[in-house]
Structure 1
């Protein structure tokens, strides 16, 4: 449900049980070179990422950049946002879908014209992101369950559940929200 009023928005923000102040007992302990998603804050923070990011639909390259931004939020693998100029806009078709994040604002979605047909709602962006999220305004993120996303040479694994678009790589440990029973972690 999308918040309609300021009190709805405040209630949505307050509903989260974990906010990154203390790692819960069920959290995995990160090894060398790893991060725990339970150390990320809520509301999220935004961190520049200069690793090479590529996104493909089959053999068709949709995006490439070394100027991404990672959104880090408690309990979720990072969502990676790509600058508009990194994305091949000729492959995008606007979607009717819109969602609202209580931290980032309203998201609009895009289908990808892939080699095997339309990949529905594969990318999204916040055209007028709120507050601290203004850094990602106009930047695109995508679902690694629908597109082949790579950080360097590592293929990204999708976050469970289908709603969130977190990018699971070997350098982050969970468990991750999105699986059954993780609502409002």
Structure 2
């Protein structure tokens, strides 16, 4: 793999990671794919916050790892998973950083879901 540019979050591109106090439940085709009270909310620059769910709270038996990957100079190389019950809609629906950069090391072992590739992401107070 060629050398990749690594950038550190700062005032021009802030990234914050905070525990989400709410319960997050992700469903596809009537099946609960994830259910957690330990999500991390990652806010990056001007983008909406993304909920990173601990892998232990994801039904990995419903997933299939794909060959797709992307690169973020702030977070690193991401791997993708499809949700088998979701069909074409749920291809590459989940991403994860197996070895995130130090600035976002908290998201290691967590997975994030594209809202438009699942049926629901419900967030309720505990």
Q: TM-score, normalised by structure 2?
A: 0.87
State the Cα distance separating 1:78 from its structure 2 match: 0.4
Q: Secondary structure at the match of 1:100?
A: strand
Cα distance in 2 between the residues matched to 1:43 and 1:96 = 29
Gaps of 5+ in 1: 20-41, 154-185
Q: TM-score, normalised by structure 1?
A: 0.60
What's 1:86 paired with?
A: 57
Q: Does 1:151 align with 2:123?
A: yes
What's 1:117 paired with?
A: 87
What's 1:179 paired with?
A: none
State the Cα distance separating 1:58 from its structure 2 match: 2.4
Instruction: Extract structure 1 runs of 4+ deviating beyond 6 A.
Output: none
Judging by fraction of residues, say which structure has more strand.
2
1:108-147, CA deviations, whole angstroms, 9 ceiling, x for partnerless residues? Answer: 0000011x53520000100011012110012000100011
Where do residues 1-185 of structure 1 align in structure 2 (5 Å cutoff)?
Answer: 4-5=2-3, 9=5, 13=7, 19=12, 42-114=13-85, 117=87, 119-147=90-118, 148-152=120-124
| Alignment RMSD | 2.1
Q: Secondary structure at the match of 2:99?
A: coil
Higher Cα radius of gyration: 1
Q: Tell whether the 8 Å contact from 1:95 to 1:121 is kept in structure 2 after alignment.
A: yes
Q: Tell whether the 8 Å contact from 1:54 to 1:151 is kept in structure 2 after alignment.
A: yes
Cα distance in 1 between the residues matched to 2:56 and 2:92 = 19
Bigger relative contact order, structure 1 or 2 (CA pairs below 8 A, ≥6 apart)? 2
Judging by fraction of residues, say which structure has more helix.
2
